[in-house]
Each structure stands twice: as structure tokens, then as C-alpha cells.
A and B are shown apart, each in its own frame.
Chain A
Amino acid sequence: GAGVSQSPRYKVAKRGQDVALRCDPISGHVSLFWYQQALGQGPEFLTYFQNEAQLDKSGLPSDRFFAERPEGSVSTLKIQRTQQEDSAVYLCASSSGKPTEAFFGQGTRLTVV
């Protein structure tokens, strides 16, 4: 596609439910990033992939968060046993190399009720 595509755009989950958020990066982009943006705040780094390798997951807030990119293209961010504090917009970005040319998707707004 022409840009980074994220789905779903909106997700409402009941507390304790598992969710999966999908990111389709720009074709050919080797680097993929996930960020979490809480209401009224700037995005916070979650994790970084280079192709299928997850090189940095230091930003994942707990072991309930898990990200994968098995074939070096599409990535999925999974949140298990969602909590209210997980409510945020989850942004995906991709780049052909370093983040100096990162392109962001429109995000998935997760609301945990």
C-alpha cells in the first residue's frame, strides 16, 4: 500500500479480554516501531523490529504485552488480560532504515471498559 495501515482503527475491549492490533508497514520497509500514546500525551516507544528480529522491547510496559513480526512484514501487537490503563492509541511506524524517515499509521484507539 501507499502508507502504513493499522487495523482496527477503534477497539473496545472488556477488562480481562485479549486484543490483537495489526500493522501493515510500507512495502520493503525493514524497520518497524510500535508506540503507545496515552490521552493528552506524546507517544512512548514500545518496541522495534528490524525485519523479523525484535531488537528492542524495552518499552513494553508489562509481560502482558507481546509483539511479533514473523515474516518481516506485517506486525501484530498483542495485549493479554487488558486493563483500563492500557487504554491509549497504539501507533505503528515503518522506515527503510533509521527512524529519520519513519512513516506513521493512523493508529488504533483501544478503550478498555
Chain B
Amino acid sequence: AQSVTQLDSQVPVFEEAPVELRCNYSSSVSVYLFWYVQYPNQGLQLLLKYLSGSTLVKGINGFEAEFNKSQTSFHLRKPSVHISDTAEYFCAVVSNDYKLSFGAGTTVTVRA
């Protein structure tokens, strides 16, 4: 079975500073990897995904992530955050060809 570990449960960051959210996965087969964002009392919104090809993936709202097969990682980055980026972020991997397995989430709090 595939699983995901998000290494940071909470990340406080100042506005306009960079942020990195760490995600490691375990899998013995090809993977599809995702980052989702969840704003308070909302559903999940897809930020970006890695299916194949270039290991640097660009998503919405200025986020990007890099797939590193040797380190089994898929870390999410943004060079300059805004107050509106305050949210919960989830890393996920597909298993059984259709089932999303999510990490426990990272809470990002952006302060002025």
C-alpha cells in the first residue's frame, strides 16, 4: 500500500517570506502525487499534480513542487506567501489506480 508522510504539522510564516511544506511517500511502483489546499469550512482544491515528465511541477497561486524519486519526496514551495495562503495543505498519492491516500496535513499560518 502507498502512504504519505507530511513532516510538518504546523508552519507559521511571515507575509512575503518563502515557505516549503515537506512530503514523503512510500511506494514500490509508479506514483501519481498531488497537493491539495483546504480553506476553512471548504472542500479540497487541487494545487498541482505530478503524473509523469518534468519533475518540477507548477500549480495555481504561485505554488510549485519537485518530485524527487531517489528521496521519495514531493515538497511544495512558494517563494512569497500572502495572508490568503493561510490554510491546510494536504499531500496525496494514488493507490490501487483510483484511491487517494492523504497525509495528515500541514497548517500554514501567514502573519503580517
Contacts and interface: CB of A to CB of B under 8 A. Distances in A.
Nearest to A95: B98
B61 interface: no
A2 B14 CA distance: 35
Interface in A41-67: 41-45, 48, 56
B99 A99 contact: yes
Interface string A70-87: 000000000000000000
Interface in B87-112: 90, 92, 94, 96-105
A44 B90 CA distance: 12
Interface in A1-18: 4, 6
A49 to B, nearest CB: 10
Given A43-B90, A100-B49, A100-B94, A33 B100 contact: yes
A111 interface: no
B72 interface: no
Most chain B C-beta atoms within 10 Å of own C-beta, residue among A6, A100, A109? A100
A98 B104 contact: no
Interface in B31-79: 32, 36, 41-46, 49, 51
A99 B98 contact: yes
B102 A98 contact: no
A35 B42 CA distance: 14
Interface of A: 4, 6, 31, 33, 35, 40-45, 48, 56, 91, 93, 98-100, 102-107, 109
Interface of B: 32, 36, 41-46, 49, 51, 90, 92, 94, 96-105
7 contacts: A6-B43, A42-B102, A48-B99, A98-B94, A99-B100, A100-B32, A100-B49
